[in-house]
């Protein structure tokens, strides 16, 4: 079966062959994927998913690849990006936004318009869909605080609205994480109007702090581990002397111990090995089972 020909024949959007995963993840690591498809719309996405399922073809939706670790052996399947589900409709305090809309772009745009509540997201790379899936957050806030409802595609290809309650948002998790066969299509967000100058000053202060405390000059995927209750993963990693520790070109940042950076040409396998090594050391020394925020894609 010629997958690329079959995908092109579906006429559902852009089809790219033998894509370098490094170009689609923030770690800049990973091998070659068989194909990447960017469906034109929801109907095209449904047609694509039906084709992949009927032909038993492995596939994954990747957003901006900001929490994904692929092996350098590659991905024998189809990656899907929802870039074209990028509508934005602002109705007073209610904002309806597509899953493919970049989160930083959304948060910055709304903040400049004087909306408050999404300031925490101005430094989080990823898409709205990915942020909803992960319940992305920072500065003691997250998507669960602002999302009113989420339009999803169910496993049987129906479009359904899930309320905030249905989404079961908790620290860095949601209904979608526990039910990955559901796909976020768009989110309805509720924000308040605030003082534009104060909002932008807060964002600028936080930006400066990130530059000072995070290794933004290197490819990474942000915080590797969730903070255990009452403590910080970065502090624990620092305590075991792992700042600067490396496997290949994957290194624990000397600036922030809860970041792993790609210092050159790190392999996905190196990053994974380093994460698992840290996890084992923390468990051994403190009997704390650190939870990994990032996903290892096989």
Q: What is the mean pLDDT of residues 20-39?
A: 98
Provide the pLDDT for residue 71: 96
- By the 8 A CB rule, do 249 and 22 touch? no
Given pLDDT bands bounded at 50, 70 and 90, which one contains residue 137?
A: very high
Which H or E element spans position 4?
helix 3-10
Provide the pLDDT for residue 243: 98
Active site residues: 172, 223, 293
Integer Cα distance of 237 and 234 in angstroms? 5
- By the 8 A CB rule, do 154 and 160 touch? yes
Integer Cα distance of 45 and 67 in angstroms? 22
Domains of the chain: 3-80 (3.30.43.10), 88-198 (3.30.465.10), 216-297 (3.90.78.10)
Mean of pLDDT over the chain: 97
243 three-state secondary structure: coil
Q: What is the mean pLDDT of residues 172-182?
A: 95
* pLDDT per position as a tens digit, 35-60: 999 999 999 999 999 999 999 999 99
96 three-state secondary structure: strand
Q: What is the mean pLDDT of residues 187-199?
A: 97
Provide the pLDDT for residue 1: 79
User: pLDDT > 70: what percent of the chain?
Assistant: 100
- Give Cα separations from 275 to 37, 76, 245 (angstroms): 30, 24, 11
């Amino acid at each position: 079966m010629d997958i690329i020909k079959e995908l092109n024949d579906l006429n559902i959007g852009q089809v790219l062959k033998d894509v370098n995963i490094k170009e689609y993840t923030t770690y800049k690591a990973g091998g070659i994927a068989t194909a990447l498809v960017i469906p034109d719309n929801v109907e095209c996405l449904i047609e694509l998913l039906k084709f992949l399922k009927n032909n038993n073809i492995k596939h994954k939706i990747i957003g901006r690849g900001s929490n994904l670790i692929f092996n350098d052996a590659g991905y024998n399947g189809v990656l899907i990006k929802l870039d074209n589900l990028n509508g934005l409709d602002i109705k007073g305090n209610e904002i309806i936004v597509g899953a493919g809309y970049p989160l930083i772009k959304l948060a910055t745009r709304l903040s400049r318009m004087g909306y408050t509540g999404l300031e925490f997201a101005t430094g989080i790379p990823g898409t709205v869909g990915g942020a909803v899936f992960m319940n992305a957050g920072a500065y003691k806030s997250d998507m669960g605080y602002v999302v009113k409802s989420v339009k999803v595609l169910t496993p049987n290809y129906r479009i359904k609205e899930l309320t905030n309650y249905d989404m079961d948002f908790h620290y860095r998790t949601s209904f979608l994480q526990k039910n990955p066969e559901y796909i976020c299509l768009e989110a309805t967000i509720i924000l308040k109007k605030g003082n534009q100058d104060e909002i932008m000053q807060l964002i600028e202060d936080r930006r400066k702090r990130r530059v000072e405390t995070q290794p933004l000059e290197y490819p990474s995927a942000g915080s590797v581990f969730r903070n255990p209750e009452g403590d910080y993963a970065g502090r624990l990693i620092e305590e075991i002397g792992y700042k600067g520790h490396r496997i290949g070109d994957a290194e624990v940042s000397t600036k922030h111990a809860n970041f792993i950076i790609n210092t050159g040409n790190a392999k996905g396998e190196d990053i994974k090995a380093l994460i698992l090594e840290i996890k084992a050391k923390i468990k051994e020394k403190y009997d704390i089972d650190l939870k990994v925020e990032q996903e290892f894609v096989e």
